Structure 1
Amino acid sequence: MIPRCLPLCAALLGLLAACSYQPVAIAPGEQRPLITPTEQDGAPPEVLDPGSIADATPRAEVIRLAGNSNPYQVLGKTYHLVDDHRGFKQRGVASWYGTKFHGKATANGEIYSLYEMSAAHRSLPIPVYVRVTNLQNGRQAVVRVNDRGPFHSDRIIDLSYAAAVKLGFARQGTAAVEIEVIDTDNTGGEQAVADYYLQVAAFSQLASAQALQESLRQGMSYPVSVASQLADAQAIHRVRIGPLPDFATAQAARKALRGRWSGEPQLVVDERR
């Protein structure tokens, strides 16, 4: 994952480019100009009308392994996902990213579009929906987090260009914001259905797996099981915590596992079709 930022010079370049155009409203689904990723980050050729930009629509989604390695490293620094994203709030500085990353893959493999209402965050699971409030003008926007960043200690979230326009700070480059995770478990829509597991270890000997299973069961309020299967005629016995109903519970189980196991468990998601 390539870290991104919005240097002051890029923000000024974007401002100069924007000043040559009048704001235009482009309806959802309408053809937009073809954008080629650029070396310097900046704004697209046209200036978007903030009144025409719709929020992302929160819905329950399965949080898969893609984009959710925990911990993960960028430029030699280690980052951890939050233990519980439900009710998560944070204040700090927001920035935006645009043409340099348009059409490139995000942390979970989706393709970034500067016209979509999306965002990057260092420690929230992917995907979650976040309400962003510009503390300088009171404007709000709802975005879907599907990327990692910004990897600068003075910024807490990197927004798409469209989100920055809706919030009214695309020309400044940064703004003081508050972000709040939206509870998609109570949106009234169809719920994402999956079982979550934390794979703790794998053994070739069943007795070793059962010994660890019994050890972890002591004082652990989450189910611990052994899943056995043949791989290349060799039996593999995996010790797993689960099934767990959602990602937040999996994170709580991960926290409970600390101090009882020195390694980092691997997230396994079993989607029920």
Structure 2
Amino acid sequence: MGSNRIVFALILFLLFQCFATGCSTSAKQNGSKTVATQRPYVIKNRTYSPLPSAVGFEETGLASWYGSDFHGNPTSNGETYNMHDVTAAHKLLPMHTMLLVKNLDNGKEIVVRVNDRGPFVRGRIIDLSYGAAQKISLVQPGIARVKITALGETKYDKKIEKRKFTQYANLKSGEYFVQIGAFIEKHNSLSLQEKFRDFGHKVLIKQSSMKGEIVYRVQVYVGKTLSNARRSERALREKGYKGAFLIAL
């Protein structure tokens, strides 16, 4: 019941904010530019808006694969597609998300890195490279029902000329917060924190460094159950906080 009250209070707060501010988002106050692969794009008259984070992401649906017709062509993030690598295309997940892909037809699993967009076929959730499809016996049938789970992300480290893997925290349990803004100017974060606190919400400001600059991240408490936390996350996005994403502490 406590978590439901949190969700309800958040929705009331957001409705008030819409009347007061016209549902303006904090995205433009973020202090950092959106990379090209994270911007909304249009395929076949449909707009896709990439997720700001893959933390806690799970999905079940059909997987397919792509191979020689695309071998050597650029992927959506500018890499050269190698059909023999273990990579994947997803419509919404951030590039370089590491995914566990389980073939539900035979139980085989493979970990892939997202470096492309697609598949743009109704009902399909992921396109695997030929190399990845081979590992879970997907090549012959062409499609299979799979479950995909985000494990973490990789970032290229120039010093060692390799990608370093960062594992996501376990979202199955814990205390949940939704990050609603990230600011270079501290007074902007304090202003947003005060708005939520005025309605009785617990709000944290976490300080971190990004590209040599101090960033102030505003995170609002949304309960102890994942289902209610997800509802709050969706409510915040729908009411104007487009970059809101879930965090477990």
Question: Aligned pair in 2 of structure 1 residues 106, 255: CA closer, same or farther (>3 Å)?
Answer: farther
Hey, what's the Cα distance between the residues in 2 that align with 1:216 and 1:128? 30
Residue equivalent to 2:84: 115
Hey, what's the Cα distance between the residues in 2 that align with 1:216 and 1:83? 20
User: What is the TM-score when the length of structure 1 is the normalising length?
Assistant: 0.49
Q: Which has the higher strand share?
A: 2
1:190-209 deviations in whole A, cap 9, x for unaligned? 577xxxx9799xxxxxxxx9
Answer 1 or 2: higher relative contact order, Cα 8 Å, separation at least 6. 2
Residue equivalent to 1:68: 38
The alignment's C-alpha RMSD in Å is 4.0
Residue equivalent to 2:14: none
How many equivalent residue pairs?
163
1:208-259 deviations in whole A, cap 9, x for unaligned? x9x9989756526577xxxxxxxxxxxxxxxxx94449xxxxxx99984753
Hey, what's the Cα distance between the residues in 1 that align with 2:128 and 2:118? 10
Hey, what's the Cα distance between the residues in 2 that align with 1:133 and 1:257? 30
Q: Displacement of 1:88 after TM fit?
A: 1.2
Residue equivalent to 2:208: none
Hey, what's the Cα distance between the residues in 1 that align with 2:36 and 2:235? 20
Residue equivalent to 2:133: 164
Q: Displacement of 1:105 after TM fit?
A: 1.1
Q: Secondary structure at the match of 1:182?
A: strand
Residue equivalent to 1:126: 95
Q: Which has the higher helix share?
A: 2
CA contact (8 A) 1:66 1:109 kept: no
> Where does structure 2 lack aligned partners over 5 or more consecutive residues?
1-33, 155-162, 167-179, 197-202, 206-213, 219-231, 244-249
Corresponding letter in the other structure for 1:259: K
Q: Secondary structure at the match of 1:158?
A: strand
User: What is the TM-score when the length of structure 2 is the normalising length?
Assistant: 0.53
Question: Aligned pair in 2 of structure 1 residues 260, 172: CA closer, same or farther (>3 Å)?
Answer: closer
Q: Displacement of 1:163 after TM fit?
A: 0.7
| Higher Cα Rg, which structure | 1
CA contact (8 A) 1:130 1:180 kept: yes
CA contact (8 A) 2:55 2:152 kept: yes
CA contact (8 A) 1:198 1:254 kept: no
> Where does structure 1 lack aligned partners over 5 or more consecutive residues?
1-63, 201-208, 224-240, 246-251, 266-273
Residue equivalent to 1:152: 121
CA contact (8 A) 1:130 1:144 kept: yes
Hey, what's the Cα distance between the residues in 2 that align with 1:156 and 1:191? 23
The reply on whether 1:181 has 2:161 as its aligned counterpart is no
1:96-134 deviations in whole A, cap 9, x for unaligned? 011111111111111111010000011111110001111
What's the % identity of the aligned pairs? Answer: 37
